[in-house]
């Protein structure tokens, strides 16, 4: 099973709302990633968790707050977003500790901020 499951698939939220994106994998991977992808652009790295600890934050605004409650789950909490934050948000996972590993992606959450 190489499945990474993201929910919801679509999300529309107002600029004053608080919402969360969820990601789950059961491959035993200990590295999990959040990416943001705008139309016709490649995915851009936002956060990396390694062994449930935040290891990389690519200078992401604080209105995006990641959380890794356990080795299978990754959340992205959203608060006070701007319309320019509308994008496809992708979760990925891989083995950790080597850099010699496959990374698998979920199908993404299409976020629209109104």
Which spans of this chain sit near other proteins (rule: CB under 8 A)? 2, 4, 6, 31, 33, 41-43, 45, 48, 50, 55-56, 88, 90, 92, 94, 96-108, 110
Q: Kindly tell me which of 27 and 80 has the beta carbon lying closer to other proteins.
A: 27
Q: Give min distance, CB of 37 to other proteins, in A.
A: 9
Q: Give min distance, CB of 13 to other proteins, in A.
A: 18
What distance in Å separates the CA atoms of residue 102 and residue 18, rounded to the nearest whole number? Answer: 33
Q: Give min distance, CB of 66 to other proteins, in A.
A: 13
Q: What ranges in 1-114 are assigned the alpha helix state H?
A: none
Q: In what side-by-side order are the strands of the sheet with 18-25?
A: 4-7, 18-25, 73-79, 64-70
Q: Kindly tell me which of 58 and 77 has the beta carbon lying closer to other proteins.
A: 58
| Torsion angle defined by CA atoms of residues 57, 22, 106 and 68, in that order, rounded to the nearest 10 degrees | 40
Q: Give min distance, CB of 51 to other proteins, in A.
A: 9
């Amino acid at each position: 099973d190489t499945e990474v499951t993201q929910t919801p698939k679509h999300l529309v939220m107002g600029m004053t709302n608080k919402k969360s994106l969820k990601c789950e994998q059961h491959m035993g991977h200990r590295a999990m990633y959040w990416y943001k992808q705008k139309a016709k652009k490649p995915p851009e790295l936002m956060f990396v968790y390694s062994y449930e600890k935040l290891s990389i934050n690519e200078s992401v605004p604080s209105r995006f707050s990641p959380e890794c409650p356990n080795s299978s789950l990754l959340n992205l909490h959203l608060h006070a977003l701007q319309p320019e934050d509308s994008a496809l948000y992708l979760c990925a996972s891989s083995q950790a500790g080597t850099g010699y590993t496959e990374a698998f992606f979920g199908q993404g959450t299409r976020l629209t901020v109104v």
